[in-house]
Amino acid sequence: MFARGTIPMHPEDQQLLEIARDLCRKLGYYNLNPDTISWKEKMGIRRLPADHFMILRGEIQLSSRAMGQLTPEEWRPIIASGLIYYKTLTRNSLVGMLTTMLPIALLVPAVLLLSFRYLVGSILIYPIILALMVLTIFAGVRFLMYPKKLWLKADVEAAGLLGKESLVTSLRKIDQLDPNRAGKRGGLGRPSPSDRVENLARTD
């Protein structure tokens, strides 16, 4: 492990980059070509959590909170899961959005139109409108949770590739780097490290 400032292609960065490229080859992600490791403290005004991972135009971004805190081999399962997530998100995000929201987007106006045409003045129109509101909220929540579902699925695939215990160990170590978040659940759109560990514990 190394303690350092943000220095492009530091020896540890080079190791992480080689790990990422090796994982891309093993996963068959030949169009993902990571060429830089960068450490970010914030995104806008929001301070990034220790488990932050993003790949954008060949640049793998990690949280500066975690810089020097894991060995390159401890990073391997974290990077594997992140690569799988972003590849799956790119491939499936449009399908996921369509299957989640399109049926509701078509159903709600159609039912409202029929309700106002045939049920104006009827007491039945109120429970129908209420049911549509609940259905729309449910679909919206499900849509917001879609990335979280992909993260958990990516963890399972990464664990199958590299072993569950290695990923669990790395996630637990990262979890301790955010004292205020350690052991807590994540939000709607992204699981916390403890959420990810619990999900892996439920898989065979």
- The answer to whether position 175 is within a domain reads no
Q: How far apart are CA 54 and CA 18, in angstroms?
A: 17
The mean predicted confidence, pLDDT, of the chain is 80
- The answer to whether position 46 is within a domain reads yes
Q: What is the pTM of this model?
A: 0.74
- The answer to whether position 33 is within a domain reads yes
Task: Determine the structural domain holding residue 33 and report its residue range.
Answer: 11-79
- The answer to whether position 168 is within a domain reads no
Task: Give the position of tokens 């958990």.
Answer: 152
110 pLDDT band (50/70/90 cuts)? low
Quick: pLDDT tens for 38-81.
999 988 888 899 999 999 888 999 999 999 999 999 999 999 99
User: Contacts for 131-136 with beta carbons within 8 Å, 24 or more apart?
Assistant: 132/108, 135/104, 135/107, 135/108, 136/104, 136/108
- The answer to whether position 148 is within a domain reads no
Number of domains in the chain: 1
- The answer to whether position 65 is within a domain reads yes
- The answer to whether position 59 is within a domain reads yes
